[in-house]
Each structure stands twice: as structure tokens, then as C-alpha cells.
Chain A
Amino acid sequence: MAAFKRKRGGQTLVGKKAKKVKIVADGADASIESEQENNNEITVPAPVSGGKWTNKERVLIFSSRGINFRTRHLMQDLRTMMPHSKADTKMDRKDKLFVINEVCEIKNCNKCLFFEAKKKQDLYMWISNSPHGPSAKFLVQNIHTLAELKMTGNCLKGSRPLLSFDPKFDSEPQYALLKELFTQTFSTPRYHPKSQPFVDHVFTFTIADNRIWFRNYQIIEEDASLVEIGPRFVLNLIKIFQGSFGGPTLFENPDFKSPNMHRREIRLAAAAKVREKQMVKEMQKTKRTEAKTDLTTDVTADVFRTPAEEKPVLIETEPPVPRVAKKKKVNGYIRQRMARR
């Protein structure tokens, strides 16, 4: 990028190197796609010349150390989507959080999105209004980045987004505060020098299951057919603070369960199951080995006893007469027939 300062409200020079790609005005008759910058072409004036950029919002997006690739890509995607953002180097974990306020002041930013990774597994996101304003901490889940092949939409880099909120944001005070925070952070200011003059994508924030779901759609047609661009993530609110990265707690989410607790509960449940099984086994063992009571009377002895007259008991003193075994005539054909059958 050229290192000259762009005049506010002034006409841009033809062929200036600030814009990387040649832009040709709409309404031009045959679009001349020439790589040369010396041709006389009508250019769409830079956004700044359309009006003055008054809404000075700048967002600082950076992270702590120990983030994984997905978080890094998510950060990059957010920087792509938000032209009014600035990047910074990774912050050391040892530093306290209020140091971030100083970093913001140095960079002349008034909003901040800070990603913090713990245990290389859990990702927390801080969103704050830098000098005095409120801040909120979220747990981020279900991250899908721009680079996923299922997200087929595309948009201009730096175009201004429409923001869409669920009506539930108006129902409770903490959500109303969050809505204001999101609006100021995510909406690109008008006439921002890096912004594009078209509005071609929409961010949606919805509340479901006590979490905030973020989606980004591209507007294809004027009849509101949409395609998802990405990124997408889910925010689970933990706390809202009155100051930036500190201060008294205004709101604490009662439904929030820290990921550590969640994992612990799962482990305890598994352990309890195993312990129960062992207990049952031991009980069975003791039952088997303990002294069994001898029953004197057999309960089932009378089952087959049917009332009838008793027969006289005959005692035979002489052996019985042996029966004469009749010898069968062996007929050859009979044997065959038997074998056949």
C-alpha cells in the first residue's frame, strides 16, 4: 500500500496504488479490463469521498498465546469481515487483563475482541468497549471458519454488513446491553476508507438454548435468497462487567457450566457407574460365601403327593419266572424293507 495519507473528502487520483485491483465504474459502457494504470478510466470514487467518516469505531482483534489453528483462522476471518479492525501480537498470559486497555489506547481503538485459550481446549472471547464501557466474557463453541468447503457464499472484502437480531434481545436487560455492544462492534462505519459501497451480506445473532448463535449469509438476489459465507460460532455468556476487563459484575449467567466442570461431571458419572458395578459384584460374592441355613423340612415334598389308597406291600421271596424270548423269523425281504423305510 502506498504510504501517503488520503485526503478526506478529496477526489482520488487515477491509478493510485492504494486499491490493489482496478475498479471500473458501473454504468461504464464497455468494461475495459486493462492492467495498465495509465489508461483514462472512470473509477468509482473511494468511499471516503462520498461523505465524511464520522462514526470512528475501531476494533482491536487479537488473542493470547496457546490458541489452536481453528481459533487463529477464526480471528483472521473476523479481521477480513470487519475492515474497521486492527490486529495485534499475541499477549502473554502472565499479564493481567487490564493491560489490554492500554494496548487499545496505544492502537487508538475503542472496541476490543480478545480471544483467550485455556488448556488448549477451551476458547473464551472477551468483547469490550475500551476505556470505560462494559465488557462481556463468553465461551466460544462450534467454530466453523470461512475456509470450510460447505460454506459456499462469498462477499466483497470490507463490505458493510446488515445486522439481524432476535427479538429476544429486547426482552431482557443483559441481552439489550449485549445487542448494543454487538451493534457497535460488528457494524462497519459508513464511509470507512476500507469499506466497499455495497451491502451484500448479513450477520445474524439469535438466542437459542441460552446461547447466542452467530451466522453470516451472503445476499444473492433482491428477493432475499441467501447462502452462508461463514464463519459461524456459538457464544455462551459467562459474565458482564461494568468496566472494561474488570469492574463490578453486572450479570452472571446462572446456566453457565464451565467446561472443566462439564468434563468433571462426565468423569464422575463414569466412575460412579463403575463403582456401582463393583459394589454389586461384591454383594453377590458375600451372598455366595456366607453360611447358608439348612432347611429341615422340604417345602416341595408334598407337591406330588396325591391322596389315594395305599397298595399292600408285596415282598417276593422267589425270583420271577424268566420269560421265553420269542425268536423272530428273519425274512430277507423284510429286512430290506425295514432298511428302505
Chain B
Amino acid sequence: MVFGTSTMEFVEEEEQLGFDSDEEKSELSDDELQEAFAKGLLKPGMNVLVAKAKKSTNNVEGLKQCLAEFRKDLPWVESLDMTNLPAEDLISKADGQAPAGVNEDINADDDFQREMFFYRQAQATVLGSLPLLKKHNIATKRPDDYFAEMAKTDQHMQKIRKKLISKQMIMERSEKAKKLREQRKFGKKVQIEVMQKRQKEKKAMMSAVKKYQKGMTDKLDFLEGDQKKPKDAGQGSKKAANKKGPNAKRKFKDQRFGFGGKKSGKKWNTKESHNDVSSFRAKVANAKGGKGGKKGKGGQQNKRPGKSVRRKMKSRS
């Protein structure tokens, strides 16, 4: 038994930590511990049982001798063996990372790195062996018309091929499905935009027609509006209009009534609004007559001409 110590409070108990079950065990009793303490083997502090270092045979001399007796010094052609480091790691070089040092142990848990290491080692062997094989006239390329039994049957290779093809198909199908989904979303957006544009145009047309009907404008530009519209001016004015955003009326209503909340009773007066006289304009309220009232020569611009005049206009145009 080996006792290790640590600087903690003194505990006179047996600890199971670090106990290797390969060793022969002897259950430590309190008496034995007390005896050991009395003898001075135990020091104050927590005593922990530490596993003995396993003695493993490593008979280097024996190994070397055995190897010397056993080895067969055959020409290279017989054994075709080669000991070499892996070939250059082109992938990591291409990525810009520094290639792993020669002395570094490969991490056995990183599957990709490990397999690439094996692959590169095999590559280096092949590259090194090819000139030697050529020298001894041993071929590595099988000619196309040389038919012989292969390690895996043709049937098996067919299965492998089918599996690879099916994997590829699955991938392609999933790619296609993803693209379709994206397209559909995009298509929906485009459709909505087109509809909105059409509605806007219709609205503009209707309002232009109404204006003409009411006599506010006597230009018939809206009929040829689609072709004649100067694009820049049109777009410029549109942009300006868009800048102002929603109507002043709309803004006022939003401000007053907000969004959400109770549905009914929003347009009724409340105590505050009833008592609110800030929008009272004394001038406007007490003005008498204004623009000469409705009678007289007011409204000359917007006045609808009489029947005879209209008839004349019609016949004229």
C-alpha cells in the first residue's frame, strides 16, 4: 500500500479514491491504521490510497535479439514494404492553415483528420514505390481487357453503385424542393406587389374621371395617361406624394383614435373633447359673409356652366 497525503483536515478513515482493483487488496481496518500512525508512517492530512505503478515487462534486449533472429532480409521486391511519413497535406495548405507538425500525434478522435493522415501515408508509399516497381517491371495498371476475379463480386459493386446513385438523387431532390419553396415565397411577394399596383392605378383613374366629371379639370390626359406620362416627372411627383405619407386627415384620425383598443364609442365626444376649445378660431367663427357669401360672383371657377353653354361646348369639341 502506498499512502499519499494532501493538506486537508485530518481524517482517520479509509478512502476508496484511486484504488485499482487489479492489486491485491487488504481491507484497512482502523486498528491497522492506528498502528501505522503510531509507527509514524501516516502523516497528518487526508490519507489517500494511490495505485501502485503497474510493472510491465519491457525486455528491450530480448526484443532486439528476437528481431535479429527472426528477420528475413529479403529484397524489396518480395515484401514491397515502405516506411514513410504522410504526403503533403494539400487541403490544409489550400485552406491557409499551417500543416500539422511532423511530430504531432494525430488525434485519434478527430475522424476526418485521422483518415486523411492514413490516406496521405498510403499516397506517399504509392508515390515512392512506383519508380521502384517500374524498375522491376512490375505493372500497376491493369489493362482493360484483362479479366480476372476481383475481391468483391460484380454484383456487390452494382449494389454499391446503386447506393451512391440513390444518395445523389436524394440530395438533388432535396435541393430542388428547397429551391421551389423559395420560389413560391418570392412569387407570392411579386404577385401581391402587382395587385397593389393595379389597384393604385385604378384608383387614380377613377379619381381623375370623377374630377373631370365634376368639372375640376377639363383636360382629358388621364385617358392617354399610360403612354403620354413623362416618366421622370411622374415618378418625381409620385415620390413627393409618397414622402408626405398618409393623408393629414388619416394622421389626425390615427392620432386621435390610435390603434387598437375599444371598438365602439370611439367617435363620440368625451368630457375632455367637449371642453376642449383650442381649435376655436374666433376670426373664422365671427366672420360674416366671408368671400362675399354664396351669392354673387363667388365660385366662379368651380361653377358648372348652364345647359346652353354646355351644349355649345359639346358641339364645339
Interface residues in chain A, defined as those with a beta carbon under 8 Å from any beta carbon in chain B? 19-24, 26-28, 31, 33, 44, 55, 80-81, 129, 133-134, 146-147, 149, 152, 154-158, 160-167, 169-170, 173-174, 176-177, 179-181, 183-184, 187, 189-190, 196-200, 202, 204, 206, 208-209, 211, 213, 215, 217, 219, 222, 224, 226, 229, 240, 242, 248-254, 261, 264, 337, 340
Contact call B157/A208, Cβ cutoff below 8 A = no
Report the Cα distance A250→B67, complex, angstroms.
11
A147–B22 alpha-carbon span in the complex (Å): 40
In the bound complex, CA of A217 to CA of B125 (Å): 11
Are B59 and A202 neighbours in the complex by a CB distance under 8 Å?
no
A-B Cβ contacts below 8 A, count: 203
> Would B147 and A157 count as touching, CB distance under 8 A?
no
Please indicate the chain B residues that have their CB under 8 angstroms from the CB of A261 in the complex. 21-22
Q: Cβ of A147: which chain B residues have Cβ within 8 Å of it? A: 152, 156
Q: A160-B80, A200-B142, A340-B265 are in contact. Are A226 and B123 (CB under 8 A)?
A: yes
Q: Does B85 contact A (CB under 8 A)?
A: yes
Nearest CB in chain A: distance from B284 CB, A:
30
- State whether B57 touches A251 (Cβ < 8 A): yes
B85 to chain A minimum Cβ distance, whole angstroms, is 6
How long is the Cα–Cα vector from A321 to B183 in the complex, in angstroms? 82
A224 to B123, CA, bound (A): 5
Most chain-B Cβ atoms within 10 A of its Cβ — which of A28, A133, A163?
A163
Q: Do the beta carbons of A167 and B119 come within 8 Å of each other?
A: no
B79 CB contacts on chain A under 8 angstroms: 163, 183-184, 187
Asked whether B316 is an interface residue with its Cβ less than 8 Å from the other chain, the reply is no
Across the interface, A24 reaches (CB within 8 A) one of B54, B142, B145, namely B145
CB–CB B126/A157 < 8 A: no
Task: Evaluate whether A164 and B122 lie within 8 angstroms (CB atoms) in the complex, with A149-B160, A156-B151 already known.
Answer: yes
CA gap between A248 and B130 in the complex, in Å:
41
B82 at the interface (CB under 8 A from A): yes
> Which residue on chain A has the smallest CB distance to residue B265?
A340
Determine if B138 and A199 form an interchain contact, defined as CB atoms under 8 angstroms apart: yes
* Cross-chain contact A154 with B122 (CB below 8 angstroms): no
Check if B303 is an interface residue, CB within 8 A of chain A: no
Q: Which residues of B contact A177 (CB under 8 A)?
A: 63, 66-67, 70
Residue picked from B57, B71, B125, most chain A C-beta under 10 Å: B125
Q: Which listed residue, A21, A27, A187, A208, touches B106 by the CB 8 Å rule? A: A208
B6 is an interface residue with CB less than 8 A from chain A: no
Enumerate chain B interface residues (CB-CB to A < 8 A): 21-22, 54, 56-60, 62-64, 66-67, 69-72, 74, 77-85, 87, 105-106, 108, 114, 117-119, 121-127, 129-130, 133, 138-152, 156-157, 159-160, 163-164, 262, 265, 270-271
Cβ-defined contact, B149 with A21, below 8 A: yes
Give Cα distance in the complex from A180 to B74, angstroms.
11
Would A26 and B82 count as touching, CB distance under 8 A? no
A222, B141: Cβ atoms closer than 8 Å: yes
Check B63–A187 contact: CB distance below 8 A.
no
- In the assembled complex, the Cα of A7 lies from the Cα of B123 at a distance in Å of 38
Name the B residues within 8 Å of A196 (CB-CB). Answer: 148
Whether the pair B121, A164 counts as a contact (CB closer than 8 A) is yes
- B residues within 8 A CB of A180? 67, 70-71
Mind listing 28 A-B residue pairs with CB under 8 Å?
A24-B147, A26-B143, A80-B151, A147-B152, A147-B156, A156-B149, A157-B148, A160-B80, A163-B125, A164-B81, A165-B82, A166-B83, A177-B66, A179-B83, A180-B70, A183-B81, A199-B133, A200-B142, A206-B121, A213-B118, A215-B122, A224-B87, A224-B122, A224-B123, A224-B130, A229-B151, A242-B62, A254-B54
Alpha-carbon distance A55/B144, docked complex (angstroms): 30
- Evaluate contact between B150 and A155: CB separation under 8 angstroms: yes
Q: Please indicate the chain A residues that have their CB under 8 angstroms from the CB of B126 in the complex.
A: 162, 202, 219, 224, 226
Q: Which residues of A contact B141 (CB under 8 A)?
A: 198, 222
